Amino acid sequence: MSDTALDITGWTCPAPLRDRPRVVMGHGGGGALSAELVQHLFAPAFGGDVLAQLGDSAAVSLGGVRLAFSTDSYVVRPLFFPGGSIGDLAVNGTVNDLAMSGAEAAYLSCGFILEEGVELPVVARVAEAMGAAARAAGVEIATGDTKVVEAGHGDGIYVNTAGIGIIPDGVDLRPQRVVPGDVVIVSGEIGLHGVAIMSVREGLEFGVDIQSDCAALGGLVRTMLAVTPDLHVLRDPTRGGLAAALNEIAAASGTGVVVDEGRVPVPAPVANACAILGLDPLYVANEGKLVAFVPREHADAVLDAMRAHPLGRHAAVIGEAVDAHPGLVVARTALGGTRVVDLPIGEQLPRIC
């Protein structure tokens, strides 16, 4: 696409892309820059009603069957980290995107982009991790593709996965169904994946072993839907963390969200690492957590069912959808004050001191 093909006159926010004629890291950060890239560059170029819904996965009808369809690319460094690897991420991430539509993943595709010079045993370890993760998630890797780029043109191994699954009858998960009064539940402790990756990638030692929470959430979602198919929306708070997921739901639903900050489960090692680096745990990535907006009358039963599942042991009610401040997320602080929880702009940056 040439520069002249860009029509920026209709963009809602004039700042980031107009001011930045080139892609910056923040465009992939899961925050406002990412959203604007998708909404104002990709979506108009592609057209189509399905993409315009901009869910974690697309809900499509094919031959009378409702399918969830999703794709994701994985460019994580390092390839292996405490609690997982790029292979686990590539399977669980796409499985989870499908699960957020209520679908059980059935088949995945897998595309490898390998950098010349990568050792084959490393590729094998990634492939084995993918196979194991797929078996654990009950999904089959049905097709794939391999490309090799010249040395220096990649980062070892990049993986893309796409997946499809069937959405059960009666399940309709999307932000537009959120209504004031919905209870917000998070499935467990947040921030583990992001801090685990930082601890190895940046060579930071936090004095404790922090493992990524990377996991497939299909089983947990199935447990929740067994209580009631009337869940309103699910979202896995990956890049941009819980703050980005809640902001996206608030914006797309047109409701406000209030979070009780003291009830958000943040493990002490994550809180401490974030305090040292000047990061906010609400913005740190997760890979095995979900946030659910549940009708108030079902909230207790859903919470009980989640806590009975291994991946929902630390599930907690953290807030509610409200009439006030539509499109905005507000936190009640532990001391009794309030603050806005914004959509991150790009990536969080460690502070100077």
Partner 1 sequence: MKYIEEFQDPALARRLLDDIHATVTRPWALMEVCGGQTHTIIRHGIDQLLPSQVELIHGPGCPVCVTPLEVIDKALEIASRPDVIFCSFGDMLRVPGTGRDLFQVRSEGGDVRVVYSPLDALRIAQENPKRQVVFFGIGFETTAPPNAMTVHQAKKLGIPNFSLLVSHVRVPPAIEAIMQSPSCRVQGFLAAGHVCSVMGVREYPELAARHRVPIVVTGFEPLDILEGVRRAVRQLERGEHTVDNAYARAVRPEGNPAALAMLEDVFEVTDRAWRGIGVIPDSGWRLSERYRDFDAEHRFSVTGINTREPAECRSGEVLQGLLKPHECEAFGTLCTPRSPLGATMVSSEGACAAYYLYRRLELGAVPAAATAPTAASAPLEASPVV
Q: Hey, which residues between 283 and 322 contact partner 1 (CB under 8 A)?
A: 284-285, 287
The DSSP call for residue 344 is P
Cα–Cα dist 96/274, whole Å: 26
Cβ nearer to partner 1, comparing 32 with 105: 32
Kindly write out the interface string for residues 170-189 of this chain, putting x where it contacts partner 1 by CB under 8 A and - elsewhere: -----x--------------
- Do you find a cis peptide bond into 78, omega within 30 degrees of 0? yes
Taking the complex as a whole, how short is the minimal distance between the CB of residue 199 and partner 1, in angstroms?
Answer: 11
342 binds partner 1 (CB under 8 A): yes
Structure-block tokens of residue 37? 């890239």
- Integer Cα distance of 330 and 274 in angstroms: 20
Q: Which range, of 121-129, 224-232, 249-257, 315-323, touches partner 1 by CB under 8 A?
A: 249-257
Q: Which of 59, 68, 72, 218 binds partner 1 (CB under 8 A)?
A: 72
For partner 1, the binding residue among 68, 113, 141, 197 (CB under 8 A) is 197
Distance set, CA 258 to CA 19, 282, 306, 319 (Å): 33, 14, 21, 5
Under rule CB under 8 A, residue 268 binds partner 1: yes
Q: What are phi and psi of 233, to 5 degrees?
A: -155, 145
Pure H helices in the chain: 16-19, 32-37, 43-46, 49-52, 86-99, 120-137, 192-201, 218-227, 241-253, 268-277, 299-307
CB of 320 to partner 1, least distance (A): 17
343 binds partner 1 (CB under 8 A): yes
The CA distance from 323 to 255, in Å, is 6
Nearer to partner 1, 89 or 216 (CB): 89
Query: Which residues between 7 and 66 bind partner 1 (CB under 8 A)?
Result: 12-16, 19-20, 22-28, 30, 32, 34-39, 42, 52-58
Q: How far is CA 193 from the centre of its chain?
A: 11
Q: Which is nearer to partner 1, 35 or 305 (CB)?
A: 35
Neighbours of 184 (CB within 10 A): 27
Question: Does residue 194 touch partner 1 according to CB under 8 A?
Answer: yes
**For 158, phi and psi rounded to 5 degrees?**
-110, 145
Query: Which of residues 307 and 327 has its CB atom nearest to partner 1 in the complex?
Result: 327
109 binds partner 1 (CB under 8 A): no
CB of 99 to partner 1, least distance (A): 12
The verdict on 97 binding partner 1 (CB under 8 A) reads yes
